Every structure is written in structure tokens, then in C-alpha cells.
Amino acid sequence: MATSRLGVGETLGALNAALGPGGPVWLKETRARHLRARDFLAPRRALQARFGDGQVPERVVHAVAGLQGPGVAPVLRCAPTPAGLALQLQRSAVFERVLGAVAAYAAPAVSASPGPRVILHCPALRGAPCALRLSQLRAVLVADHLSRALHTHGNCEWTGPLPRRELRPKP
């Protein structure tokens, strides 16, 4: 068993690479109701765009189910569902690895980006997206533009506060 620190980013990267060329499609599940059955989901519509007829080739499902690598969480099962391709981790193995190396997870992760780190604070992101006023929408668009510009120039940025549905840093 690998001893490297497990990471959501590493796992998502490996999952997207296993699907083949194209943009990222996997999502980390955060809703308690869905976490009973899956940890990650590749939505059906994204799979339809990737594979034409929406049917994920069996070889791809097997590749995802057997996924391994540094920082990649061990996979229990991967199966097609009406919502898309659902993946469940070997949670007991993940917990064992995390609890066995608590110090590694308590220390902040080292940034892969050598440039300065920037935090973009956008209070308009606190509310529901459907309740944004024009002035708040403008602030969100400016923050998004700044985020993309910083990322283009090699800076690592974090936009916050994060919307309720998006609980991860921008790549």
C-alpha cells in the first residue's frame, strides 16, 4: 500500500485521466444522501458528451475501478447508474491511511505553484446564486476574471467565501 498523502485533487485528476482525453467530468459528492452510495460522480450528460451514445466503454469502467497512484484514494467499486458513473472509495482503507498519518494531514499542503498565493475575497458568493443582485453579479464576474488572470500568470489563487455547492479551490 502506498504511503503518500491521499488527496481529492490527485484522485479527481486520476479519475479524469482514466476517462481519456477531454475536459474534467468527475465531481466529488458532498450531499449526505448521495454519500451513502457514492463518493464521486461523472454525470450522465458529461459522459454523453464524452462518449457520444453515453455508454461508457467497459474497459474504461474497469480502468477506473482499478485506479491506483500516488495520492489516489483506493477504489471499492465503479458502476453505471441513472445519474452517471458512480464511484465508491474503500472508506475503511482511506480512514486507516489518514488516521495512521494524522501529522501529514495536519500540515498544510505544499503548493505546486512557485508563484505567490492570492486570496480573492468576494462576499457576494455567500448568498444563493439565484438571489444575486446586479452589483453582486458584477463583483462575482470581476473576481472570476481576476482568478483566471492570476491562474494564467502562474499564481495559485483561492476565491472565497466559496459557494455552498463548490467547496474546492479552483485549478
Q: Which of 106, 125, 141 is the last residue of a domain?
A: 106
**What residue numbers bound the domain in which 138 lies?**
117-160
Neighbours of 154 (CB within 10 A): 10
38 versus 54: which is more confidently predicted?
38
Same domain, 21 and 65: yes
Same domain, 85 and 45: yes
**pTM of the entire structure?**
0.61
Q: Which of 106, 131, 148 is the last residue of a domain?
A: 106
Same domain, 70 and 28: yes
Q: Judging by beta carbons within 10 Å of its beta carbon (0-12, 13-18, 19+), is residue 71 exposed, middle or buried? A: middle
C-alpha grid cell, residue 129: 446564486
Read off φ and ψ for residue 83, nearest 5 degrees: -80, -20
Same domain, 12 and 45: yes
Same domain, 25 and 83: yes
81 versus 141: which is more confidently predicted?
81
Same domain, 82 and 153: no
Q: Quick one: pLDDT at residue 110?
A: 61
Tell me if 62 is assigned to some domain: yes
Same domain, 101 and 141: no
Same domain, 74 and 28: yes
Q: Does the pLDDT at position 148 exceed 70?
A: yes
Same domain, 70 and 151: no
**How many Cα atoms are found within 13 Å in the side-chain-facing hemisphere of 68?**
4
Same domain, 71 and 27: yes
Tell me if 1 is assigned to some domain: no
Q: Considering its fold, how many domains does the chain have in total? A: 2
Same domain, 31 and 96: yes
Query: Per residue in 45-81, pLDDT tens?
Result: 988 888 887 688 898 899 999 999 888 999 999 999 9
**Model confidence band, residue 167 (pLDDT cutoffs 50, 70, 90):** very low
Distance CA 22, CA 71 (A): 22
